[in-house]
Amino acid sequence: MPKIHSSLLVLAALAFLHPAMAATVIDNANGYTLNGKNTLVRFQAMAFDYEGRIIAVGTSQQVLAKAPKARRIDMQGKTVIPGLIDAHGHIFGLGDMLNKLDLTGSASLPAALKAAADYARAHPAHAWLRGGGWNQEIWKLGRFPTAAELDSAVADRPVWLARVDGHAGWANTRALELAGITKDTPDPDGGKIMRDASGNATGVLIDAAMDLVGKVQPKQTDAEMRVVLDRALQHIASMGLTSVHDAGVRIDQDALYREYAGLAKLSTRVYGMIGGVGADFDLLSKKGPLTSYAGDLYALRAVKLYADGALGSRGAALLAPYSDESKSTGLLFNKPADMAAMMEKAMARGYQVNVHAIGDAGNRQVLDGYQELVPKTGSLGARHRIEHAQVVAPDDIKRFKAIGIVPSMQPTHATSDMNMAEQRVGSQRIRGAYAWRSFLRQGLPIACGSDFPVESANPFYGIHAAVTRQDSAGQPAGGWYGNEAMTLKEAFRCFTLDAAYAGHQEKVLGSLEKGKWADFTVIDRDLFTMPAKDIHAVGVLQTWVAGRQVFDKK
């Protein structure tokens, strides 16, 4: 804490001593932003003060008149847009994924062993080394690799690497020791320990036997969490995102977010949803919602709950059986009364409630809960959300508007799921699936996101999917249920102002206007004149948060 204050004081003093350095103008930009009247406006220049607040936006002449002594940065005609917001992502999950040892490209056992050794050297803070993607078929080994071979790369720490299909894991000797696997360990039901002629485990564990190692892996250490967070933040900045709504924050992650925000090390703004209403919530909610911290770098004023599972695994709860499995309707995670009790607990303490609901039965259960509880708790102003709102009974779409619920949707889910989704729910129910236009027609905002790392964090994939409902190869022609597509302006709004609205931040984020934070992204082509089919290929050149550059492609 003291560090924040002193660094701000230093900045303030510098600004005072060197008025010329106090403000910055980006000039000669091909700028676009929505304004308060929902009009897309152009600008050439923008000035912001030393804290990163916008002073003026307009033509060069207008802006330079407002900040005559400012440091001037020539954007050389490049396109500048407001920083994009991902309203649903998993920051630590992304960092974990990016940070694991990835052996999918390894062509031989020696190459994989070298990669493991390099990875160990690059991650001295990791107590366990984890990864996967290996395939002994590609290595033409004719057998599984062994613990002894893995020891030749890394012997000092446990290593655990999943096979490419996830049905086997490769451990080194240290990992086998920690799991207590000896000659006398029996094969568990549904699993197999690979052994040599005398019965000793050789290093590969199959299916249920993988749990023997899985269950002794410790929680991530603080040092590991920092490496993972740094990796995720770097990636997010490179994607042109300036704010992420983290859909499930644990108490230890909250502590790290606060620390990073306080030290201005949080290079993307984080709007946190506490994962569940259990022990972490009880502790974190003692002082009530954190509406803003460290210049809006961090907030923790929402709770994430789950109504059901996912469509691909048929875990999403449907009102009628799956079209491709007539005996199953999926599964609601909670009885209605239990779900309502969790929602009410969060609402009563002043939190926004964001419930994951994929199937039409999941969505209905949550809408029923909101319908009863929003008036009862007087919490309309909390802007409660349904995360995904993926398959919704057509009659229920109106209820979002009637009850005041914000749909939080991920356009790339539609283009990734299109074939599978229609098999699961059939040709009728699919009309209420990923139904963006139907929601927009109600006059609802849609908070757009990606659900990374389930999908790529790249927001231009999202805008492309929202506008075309096609994959990157332009399939299918006309878009998948193209009548539900968004216009470019709508998609842009859903990734900026509407996402900000869903985080109670539309007064400070989401557009480039006087008084808001100078969060902006510089891209390599003009989003508003280019062919829609190419939007997925937009490249990010620079990302700025609160007037500070956090990514430079150079």
Range in contact with Zn ion (rule: CB under 5 A) among 67-75, 443-451, 479-487, 492-500 = 443-451
Binding mask 365-404 for Zn ion (x = CB under 5 A): ----------------------------------------
φ and ψ of 370, to 5 deg: -60, -40
- Report in angstroms how near the CB of residue 480 gets to Zn ion at its nearest: 22
Range in contact with Zn ion (rule: CB under 5 A) among 39-47, 97-105, 328-336, 449-457 = 449-457
Smaller CB distance to Zn ion: residue 58 or 93?
Answer: 93
CB 56 within 8 A of CB 66: yes
- Report in angstroms how near the CB of residue 451 gets to Zn ion at its nearest: 4
Smaller CB distance to Zn ion: residue 254 or 451?
Answer: 451
Q: Is 451 an interacting residue with respect to Zn ion (CB under 5 A)?
A: yes
The count of residues interacting with Zn ion (CB under 5 A) is: 2
Rounded CA separation 189/199 (Å): 18
Smaller CB distance to Zn ion: residue 96 or 451?
Answer: 451
Smaller CB distance to Zn ion: residue 247 or 433?
Answer: 247
Supply 291's token pair. Answer: 């509406």
Q: In this chain, which of 162, 175, 247, 414 binds Zn ion, going by CB under 5 A?
A: 247
Smaller CB distance to Zn ion: residue 247 or 299?
Answer: 247
Which conformational region is residue 314 in: left (phi greater than 0), alpha (psi within -120 to 50 degrees), or beta?
left
- Report in angstroms how near the CB of residue 93 gets to Zn ion at its nearest: 8
Supply 424's token pair. Answer: 């699961």
Binding mask 329-358 for Zn ion (x = CB under 5 A): ------------------------------
The residues near 274 (Cβ < 8 Å, ≥ 6 apart) are: 248, 249, 254, 280, 281, 284, 285, 300, 302, 303, 304, 351
- Report in angstroms how near the CB of residue 247 gets to Zn ion at its nearest: 5
Smaller CB distance to Zn ion: residue 193 or 389?
Answer: 389
Range in contact with Zn ion (rule: CB under 5 A) among 105-113, 130-138, 153-161, 243-251 = 243-251
Q: Is 360 an interacting residue with respect to Zn ion (CB under 5 A)?
A: no
Rounded CA separation 434/439 (Å): 9
The residues near 42 (Cβ < 8 Å, ≥ 6 apart) are: 30, 31, 32
Residues 452-511 that bind Zn ion (CB under 5 A): none
* SS3 annotation, 283-338: HHHHHCCEEEECCCCEEEEEEEEECCCCCCCCCCCCCCCECCECCCCCCCCCCHHH
Supply 382's token pair. Answer: 């909390």
The residues near 296 (Cβ < 8 Å, ≥ 6 apart) are: 269, 505, 508, 509, 517
Smaller CB distance to Zn ion: residue 181 or 277?
Answer: 277
Q: Which residues bind Zn ion (CB under 5 A)?
A: 247, 451
